[in-house]
Amino acid sequence: MGCRKEGSGRTIKEICDLTHVDNVPFGRVFRKVQHLVKETIVVPNLNMENIIPRFCNQLDLKNERLVQRTALHIANSADKFCDVQGRKPDSIASAAIYLACQECGERITMTQIKAVTSTSEVVTRTICKLMTPSLQKLLPSGSVSQRSLV
């Protein structure tokens, strides 16, 4: 909650990886504490503007800024055009980054994204499948699909 309050939100998975604590009990305690202090402290939820740039930075991409902007646009548009409600923000971010990399011509695997986001390849692939039918609506206007050029 302290990270989120200070504007550098972290996922429960990230904190558990750093502290070597199991995420299930940590998540339970987090929700209980959040419930107890809800009236006194306003803790913002994770948003894509916080986590996508951090994940992109850890991937060492050639066109990091382009991928980052494209992934942010995809993730923010996904709520309108795809059925991703109820999915974890880091899962949506991993799929958006993967699709943005594909669109921007970056060669990256789901395994590399998994190492950064701690989201399984199966979850990333599932969300990508949900997003792909609406991909042209999710992309920023004026973007050209790299896959159509190959």
Q: Please compute the mean of the pLDDT values over residues 43-61 and round it to a whole number.
A: 80
Q: Which of 92, 123, 103, 89 is nearest to 61 (CA)?
A: 103
The answer as to CATH 1.10.472.10 being correct for domain 48-142 is yes
CA distances from 97 to 45, 48, 74, 127 (A): 20, 11, 8, 11
pLDDT band for 28, please (50, 70, 90 cuts): confident
- pLDDT tens-digit map of 56-90: 999 988 889 999 999 999 998 888 888 887 888 88
**Are the C-beta atoms of residues 65 and 100 closer than 8 Å to each other?**
no
Q: Is the pLDDT of residue 97 over 90?
A: yes
Asked whether 73 and 140 are in contact (CB, 8 A), the reply is yes
Q: For the chain, what are the domain ranges?
A: 2-36, 48-142
Of the pLDDT bands very low, low, confident and very high (cuts 50, 70, 90), residue 146 is very low
- Residues 100-128: tens digit of each pLDDT: 999 988 889 999 999 998 889 999 999 99
Predicted TM-score of the model (pTM):
0.70
